[in-house]
Amino acid sequence: MKVTFKVCFCCVRSYKVKSSEPPQEIKTLFDYYSQNGRMSVDEMLRFVIQVQGETHADSNYVKDIFNMLKHHGVFHPRGLHLEEFYRYLLSDFNSPLPLSGEVWQDMTQPLSHYFLYTGHNSYLTGNQLNSRSSTEPIVKALRRGVRVIELDLWPNSSGTEAEVRHGGSDTNH
């Protein structure tokens, strides 16, 4: 199975996935929040609030997600199957940041007039020579307002998957 990820607004990267099956962690999560192999609107709402932390969500919010998935051929009328849920988690519909259609700042100035808050080596727990890679620094950076995260992707030893790590140094992944 080939999975395509949007790198930025104009670039995409594709990776060949070893297995088209969702990872065990996703299966366990799906089993916990669903019944009889399908996740209903109410069950998805519970997942979105408890796991995703989207406390503003209501059943209409989840119905909107289901409608978006329906228009992309990833939907069953009685709820999401495991594979559909997995595809949703990897989709653009599951953005890690709130999507806002409104421009709330003056965006008419030259680019050099703006400050862009970014995170360099955002995944490292310490210095770039001998610290380890983790998701915790990324979460902290996003909570502080960082809007650009740098991830260094390197092929694993078998060349079948990508790993996030700082190449050419002693950092652990």
Report whether pLDDT(98) > 90. no
Q: Which of 71, 72, 113, 166 is catalytic?
A: 166
Q: What is the pLDDT of residues 104-148, one digit of tens each?
A: 678 888 867 766 655 667 777 777 777 777 888 888 877 777 767
Residue 119 near residue 150 (C-beta atoms within 8 A): yes
Q: Is residue 121 part of a domain?
A: yes
Domain encompassing residue 157 = 111-164
Is there a domain that residue 28 lies in? yes
Q: Is the pLDDT of residue 77 over 60?
A: yes
Residue that wins the pLDDT comparison between 73 and 105: 105
Same domain, yes or no, for 27 and 84? yes
Instruction: Report the C-alpha gap between 172 and 124 in whole angstroms.
Output: 9
**Does the active-site annotation cover 120?**
yes
Q: Is 81 a catalytic residue?
A: no
Whether pLDDT at 74 is above 60:
no
Residue 7 has pLDDT above 60, yes or no: no
For the chain, what is the domain count? Answer: 2
Q: pTM of the full predicted structure? A: 0.49
Q: Write the CA distances from 162 to 6, 44, 133, 135, 173, integer angstroms.
A: 15, 29, 14, 15, 11
Active site residue: 72, 76, 120, 173, which one? 120
pLDDT digits (tens, 9 = 90+) for 145-170: 776 777 777 888 888 888 777 665 55
Domain presence at residue 11 = no
DSSP state for residue 35 in the 8-state scheme: B
Q: Please compute the mean of the pLDDT values over residues 65-83 and round it to a whole number.
A: 75
pLDDT for the residue numbered 131: 77
pLDDT confidence of residue 25: 93
pLDDT at 101: 62
DSSP β-bridge partners for residue 118:
148
Closest CA to 171 of 138, 135, 126: 126
> Which class for 121: exposed (0-12), middle (13-18), buried (19 or more C-beta within 10 A)?
middle
Mean pLDDT of the chain: 77
Measure the CA–CA gap between 100 and 107, rounded to whole angstroms. Answer: 15
Q: Could you give the CA distance from residue 48 to residue 64 in angstroms, rounded to a whole number?
A: 13
Distance CA 66, CA 25 (A): 22
